[in-house]
Structure 1
Amino acid sequence: MKPTFILADGMTPFIFVVPPLDLEIKTSQKSEKINFIDFGEKNIVGKKNVETITFSSFFSAINSNFYSLKNPLTPILSVETLVKWKNQEKILTFIIPEFTIFKKCQIVEFNYFIRERTGDIDFTITLVEYRTQGRVANTITGLIERL
């Protein structure tokens, strides 16, 4: 199965024509170890941290067998689009329909490499889950209101 990797800015999709071989999703949770004198050590588990998604692939040159009109951009225009979204701190939607992955995220790291003279550009991208603030502070006092 060849999964479809899509990064969407609203209704503007960016399709990664050559899907990566590996996809890394990191999830973690806040925790703190507390040592009680008569009881011993206890682990206190807190809220979930934001998820981090990392993958690598390449943008194929127009004359390559991997090139597809699913993403008609040249490799350098693909790089410029993702760099622009990163610099503008756009809130994007990362979608892999085959794995039922739909996440709001932002690009925090984007590295690209021109290693060969084929016109292909290799890249590594890191996305971080975007979450809205759940609690609202009072604009006058700056304190979080109690429920």
Structure 2
Amino acid sequence: MWIRQANDTFRFPVFPASFEINSKAIVNTSNVLKTGEIAVFGGAGLRTTEISSFFPKNDEASYCDYTGFPTPYDCVNKIQKWMNEGFILRFTVTETNINMEVIIDSFKYEEKDCTGDVYFTLSLKEYKRIQIPKLNSVSTNTNLSSSKDVPITKGFETKKQRTHKVVKGDNLWSLSQKYYGNGDLYEKIVEANKELIKTADIIKEGWVLTIP
């Protein structure tokens, strides 16, 4: 079970005991003279899901799906940030048909049993992109020629800035080759990190460089 925001991917360390996807149809009712009440289909409603699990303090416990995940409150802080900033997230559950854009509707957490584990309930609501009609600039009539998907909150597709933490053996040419497929484009990295890089052929281990 994963949530992704741009290049920031979070995998839940403990898979919930159960989860469900709630979906519904929008049905509008009206009263028609001499006919009575009628129902009109208004489209599909937004899907929702609620996840209840916990962030364990011990990442080597047998019930953990993997090791090396963040501490419980690092997990809490990440989810709260995504909720407070209104990010569009990609929610996926492998080996299922669940793969959709969502926003966080609510998030609550607590500690109990003095274990250091943090129990949480996370509510997600499906996000649908609106379509803004675009006028044909060539034609003078009022026909709409095309439309464009536009996110109405901060989107995971709009945040494209990358970073790289310098490790032993890195150099600007190798980073340019890694990210652009061409080592000769290293000057793009230099330009984006002018506050750190004073000499074009010197980068230091531990630096976090912006990769434009």
* Fold shared, TM-score > 0.5 on shorter chain: yes
Q: Which is bigger in relative contact order (C-alpha 8 A, separation at least 6)? A: 1
The residue type equivalent to 1:120 in the other structure is: D
RMSD: 2.0
Q: Distance in 1 between matches of 2:60 and 2:82?
A: 26
Matched, 1:130 2:127: yes
Q: Tell me what 2:7 maps to.
A: 11
The residue type equivalent to 1:30 in the other structure is: I
* Percent identity between the two aligned chains: 28
User: What number of residue pairs does the alignment pair up?
Assistant: 136
CA contact (8 A) 2:59 2:69 kept: no
Higher strand share: 1
Q: Tell me what 2:79 maps to.
A: 82
Task: Map 1:1-147; keep pairs closer than 5 Å.
Answer: 5-62=1-58, 65=61, 66-67=63-64, 68-69=66-67, 72-136=69-133, 147=144
Q: CA deviation at 1:93?
A: 0.4
Q: Tell me what 1:142 maps to.
A: none
Higher helix share: 2
Q: Which runs of 5+ in 2 are unaligned?
A: 136-141, 145-212
Q: CA deviation at 1:100?
A: 2.4
Q: CA deviation at 1:36?
A: 2.6
Q: Distance in 2 between matches of 1:84 and 1:56?
A: 19
Any runs of at least 4 consecutive aligned residues in structure 1 with deviations exceeding 4 A, and if so which? none
* Structure 1 residue matching 2:28: 3-state secondary structure: strand
* Structure 2 residue matching 1:97: 3-state secondary structure: coil
Q: Distance in 1 between matches of 2:69 and 2:59?
A: 12
Structure 1, 47-56 or 81-90: larger mean CA deviation: 47-56
What's the TM-score, normalizing by structure 2? Answer: 0.58
What's the TM-score, normalizing by structure 1? Answer: 0.82
The residue type equivalent to 2:79 in the other structure is: L
